[in-house]
Amino acid sequence: MTQQIRHSFLSIVGVLQTPHNIRELSAWLTGLYAELSANFSDFEFVIVNNHLDQALVDAAIRPLPEALRQNIFLLNLSTRTGRDNALLAGLDRANGDYVAVFEFDFVQKPELVTRMWEKSREHFDIVYLRARERRQPFLQRLLYRAFYGIMRRYSGLRLDPRAHHTRLISRRALNSLLRLRENSHYLKAIYALVGYNTTVIDVEEPLFPDAGTSWGEQFRASLVAVTSFTTFLRSLMLWIFLFSCVVAGTAVFNAVKVKLTRVDIFGDYQEALSGWAFLVVIISVFFAITCLNLYVMSIYLSNIYTEIKNRPPYILESVKRY
């Protein structure tokens, strides 16, 4: 029985984030090429080298068959950037009717590309893979739950905490996504912001922490995402202000009560001229609250400053064909 060829131009985007990705590159390309050549009429590979050793990348690609190599575009970034910005470089360069971001975690399952494309034929513009679990240390899992809880509650965006980066995007959805040229990119939120009909395919592969990304970088990225896509910190500052008013009112009431009755709000006898310790505590609390408010404001000012500078999220050093 002759296998049906799907007449769609497919772009496959992959990011070389760590040396381990380079070691998997040959198998990743070979498996995808066999799958795509058997099922699709036209395709290309857009590989983003996130400032890794280009000689190692060349060594992984050159032994491959010429029929495979002629479909490869290698984008070399001039300096290392975040995973989402590197993905954006690949999405900018992709020419296909559909673009598939395909992680190296699925190197043994190239057939997932065809499954996502078939699912998109049910009138879906974005099809992503969802893990059954997130494998991380307990503390990190708690922080991720808090982060996604804040994002869902205060952004109005439908974010899936178990979504892989791997997904298929239609051309019209991608064009809308690329028009959102924000300097603080968090692609999972931008996918949700763009909208369009979206569906999911469940897979067994769990979610692991991003390789090559430190805990500090993840924390800073989460702060940028929270301030860029939610009203959480603005709401938090309102509650801090209300709490400050309650504390100040309580302090004033207690001072007047001690002055008139020599008994504080807790029912303890107090000298009218005492209370310096209480005063120090109140000053310390308000100083801490003031510092927190300034820190929150500095985050917003930093985001505004970043947008005003309008620096590119990545700088492309060269494009290489094989």
Q: Which residues make beta-bridge pairs with 98?
A: 10, 170
Beta-sheet strand order (sheet of 40-49): 198-202, 126-130, 163-170, 98-101, 6-16, 40-49, 72-77, 316-321
Termini Cα distance of the chain: 34
pLDDT at 2: 46
pTM of the model: 0.69
Q: What is the pLDDT of residue 1?
A: 41
Q: Is the separation of the CB atoms in 51 and 77 below 8 Å?
A: yes
Question: Is the model's pLDDT at 64 over the cut of 50?
Answer: yes
- The pLDDT value recorded for residue 45 is 93
Interval 109-128: pLDDT, tens = 899 999 999 888 888 999 98
How large is the average pLDDT for residues 16-43? 90
CA distance 198 to 188: 12
pLDDT at position 6, please? 74
Distance of CA 164 to the CA centre of its chain: 10
Beta bridge partners, 199, equal 127
pLDDT tens across 152-163, in order? 777 777 777 788
The more confidently predicted of residues 223 and 100 is 100
> For position 13, what pLDDT does the model report?
93
Note the pLDDT of residue 246: 74
- The stretch 185-203 carries a mean pLDDT of 81
What pLDDT is attached to residue 12?
A: 92
Q: State the Cα–Cα distance between residues 264 and 258, nearest whole angstrom.
A: 5
Mean pLDDT confidence for 226-240:
69
Does residue 308 have a pLDDT over 80?
no
CB-based burial of residue 210 (10 Å sphere; 0-12 exposed, 13-18 middle, 19+ buried)? middle
127-131, 299-303, 308-312: segment of lowest average pLDDT: 308-312
pLDDT at 197: 87
Flag whether pLDDT at 168 surpasses 90. yes
pLDDT(79) > 70:
yes
pLDDT band at 46 (very low <50, low <70, confident <90, very high): very high
Q: In the predicted model, what is the mean pLDDT of the chain? A: 79
Residue 58 pairs in a beta bridge with none
Average pLDDT over residues 83-111: 89
Q: Give the separation between CA 206 and CA 138, rounded to whole angstroms.
A: 15
Per-residue model confidence as pLDDT tens digits over 250-289? 776 776 676 677 776 767 766 655 565 566 567 767 776 7
Burial code of 179-208, b = ≥16 C-beta within 10 A, e = fewer? eeebbbbbbbbbbbbbeeebebbebebebe
Q: What CA–CA distance (Å, rounded) separates 194 from 58?
A: 36
Give the pLDDT confidence score for residue 231 in this predicted structure. Answer: 65
